[in-house]
């Protein structure tokens, strides 16, 4: 992020990207965040290491292992990301889930917030 005054969406995307790097050691190639009412969706592209991609390509059970590994990483390290999202948005995270597509390395993270965030606040 090179803007001097990033939007809330950009700050959330950067926080999710930073958290993914801290969890896995892989810097996502692209991070975006969108909000609809109280549902926050973060998309991280390029989240798998070369070794994870190679393992996932071996067989469906191997791909499932990579997916489960990333679900566990997300679940085990989610508290610090939830705190950062609360700091950025002002809303508590009620629940969250994550899924990684092993063929593309794209991860989708979904957060249910305790309250919606008005669009005018989200976009500034």
Q: Where are the alpha helices (DSSP H) in 25-118?
A: 50-58, 60-76, 78-89
- Among residues 69, 92, 72, the alpha carbon closest in space to that of 81 is found at 92
- Among residues 111, 23, 109, the alpha carbon closest in space to that of 73 is found at 23
Mean confidence (pLDDT) of the chain: 94
Q: What is the pLDDT of residues 25-82, one digit of tens each?
A: 999 999 999 999 999 999 999 999 999 999 999 999 999 999 999 999 999 888 899 9
Estimate to the nearest angstrom the gap between the alpha carbon of 67 and the chain centroid. 14
Domain ranges of the chain: 8-122
Using the 8-state DSSP alphabet, how is residue 41 labeled?
Answer: E
pLDDT confidence of residue 2: 53
Average pLDDT in the 104-113 region? 97
State the Cα–Cα distance between residues 121 and 7, nearest whole angstrom.
9
Compute the chain's Rg from CA coordinates.
15
């Amino acid at each position: 992020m090179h803007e001097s005054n990033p939007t809330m969406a950009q700050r959330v995307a950067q926080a999710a990207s930073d958290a993914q790097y801290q969890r896995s050691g892989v810097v996502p190639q692209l991070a975006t965040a969108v909000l609809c009412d109280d549902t926050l969706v973060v998309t991280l592209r390029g989240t798998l290491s070369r070794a994870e991609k190679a393992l996932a390509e071996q067989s469906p059970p191997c791909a499932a292992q990579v997916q489960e590994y990333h679900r566990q990483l997300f679940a085990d390290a989610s508290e610090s990301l939830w705190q950062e999202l609360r700091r950025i948005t002002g809303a508590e995270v009620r629940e969250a889930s994550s899924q990684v597509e092993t063929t593309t390395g794209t991860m989708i993270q979904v957060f249910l917030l305790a309250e919606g965030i008005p669009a005018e606040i989200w976009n500034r």
